[in-house]
Amino acid sequence: MSTDPHDILTACTTQELRQRRSVKWREFPPDVLPLRIAEMDTPLAEPITSALSTAINRGDTGYALAGRLPEAFAGFAARHYGWHPDASAARLIPDVMTGIVEALQIITEPGDRIVFNTPGYPPFFYWIQRIGRQVTPSPLADGPNGHRLDLDRLERDFASGARAYLLCNPHNPTGLVFTREELAQVAALAERYDVRIVSDEILAPLIYPGGRHIPFPSLDSPSAARSIALVSASKAFNIAGLKAALAVPGPDAHADVAQIHEEVSEGAGLFGVLAAEAAFTHGDLWLRRLIDDLDDNRRLLAAQLADRLPRIVYHPPQGGYVGWLDCRALGWGADPAQVFLDHGRVGLSSGPRFGPPGHGFVRLNFATAPARLVEAVNRMATARDRADAGADEQHG
């Protein structure tokens, strides 16, 4: 492994990565290049390594308290977003999805309708149903310039009796970063129809040049004041397995977040808290270098697809590190990820898992070395050639 701090996405060899025990590198056979799970092929940022090593050396492996994590996040939010959340009102949770579930159970009742945009993060579908609420998909508009928020559709969905809107910003899987103007319109609709907002902001630190993350609770709006944001260092600093996140309320949602039971907070990991404290306090330089590398990769993916697979439509994301690839012109039906796996031995996320608007799409994680990204596109092109050859034989 490279020790050059500038060498983030190329620091780990493929052989070293295949020794990892996480899902990304263990779910497929060794001949598959995995680009499905949202983990990055990076070493840890040095401040995180130092914090965890210190804890291990002193045997500090017990149960977690929030410690200085809320204050560390508040400082990060002030520097990066111009937002000054009340650290004393934040509640420690194991991960963002747990926080979403807890918030929705507090602010809605069984049977209530929960809106979220599709294509949508797959766990949103089954967790909302699992807690006895109704899923109300609100498709994004899909146009020649990529996806965008469809405010007219959102208003119809709010007006249909929705009680809450699960906002994902930046959006997974499209990589959309919603503007202040769009979010202000969402806030106005939420106020008009008495819809509570729960905002998944797990990808917020990963915004590319030209964009800016606007935390929903930071808006000057009654519905924003009543909103709850879920935040974490897990995606931006590649520490999802360490388990620590925060539920951060708007000014008028403190009592709601205070209802999150202490048993939920006890599910967080001490290493997650220590790592996130270090990331939010001392990780800015590492994060800037990572975003530079990811920016190069999102553009490299565009160039490679244009050259090798021009029938695939790809709009580089504004945030996050996944590409949402429209493969419908290949004519492979609803789930092209299976064709890429069978014929190219590259593992991608299946579009239909993100709802009906994902039919014909795949999600590709480009947080890897540029050489592996090029190899992935080459494998995808091989799959295209083999699938097309097989189709020709059948028609022959």
Give the gyration radius of the chain's Cα atoms: 21
Beta-bridge partner residues of 115: 136, 165
Q: What is the pLDDT of residue 271?
A: 98
**What does the pLDDT look like over 141-193, one tens digit per residue?**
998 889 999 999 999 999 999 999 999 999 999 999 999 999 999 999 999 99
Q: What is the pLDDT of residue 2?
A: 54
Q: Which residues contact 132 (CB under 8 A, 6 or more apart)?
A: 110, 111
Give the sign of the dihedral formed by CA 200, CA 178, CA 120, CA 220: positive
Q: φ and ψ at 349, to 5 degrees?
A: -80, 135
Q: Which residues contact 249 (CB under 8 A, 6 or more apart)?
A: 86, 89, 90, 217, 227, 228, 229, 256, 257
**What does the pLDDT look like over 82-128, one tens digit per residue?**
999 999 999 999 999 999 999 999 999 999 999 999 999 999 999 99
Tokens of 314: 């790809």
Residues of the chain where predicted confidence (pLDDT) is lower than 50: 3
| β-strand pairing of 162-168 with 33-34 | unpaired
Q: What is the mean pLDDT of the chain?
A: 96
Q: What is the pLDDT of residue 390?
A: 75
Tokens of 126: 């089954």
pTM recorded for the entire structure: 0.96
Three-state secondary structure of 258-319: HCCCHHHHCCCEHHHHHHHHHHHHHCHHHHHHHHHHHHHHHHHHHHHHHHHCCCCEECCCCE
Nearest by Cα to 226 from 331, 373, 106, 59: 106
Nearest by Cα to 117 from 180, 171, 187, 177: 171
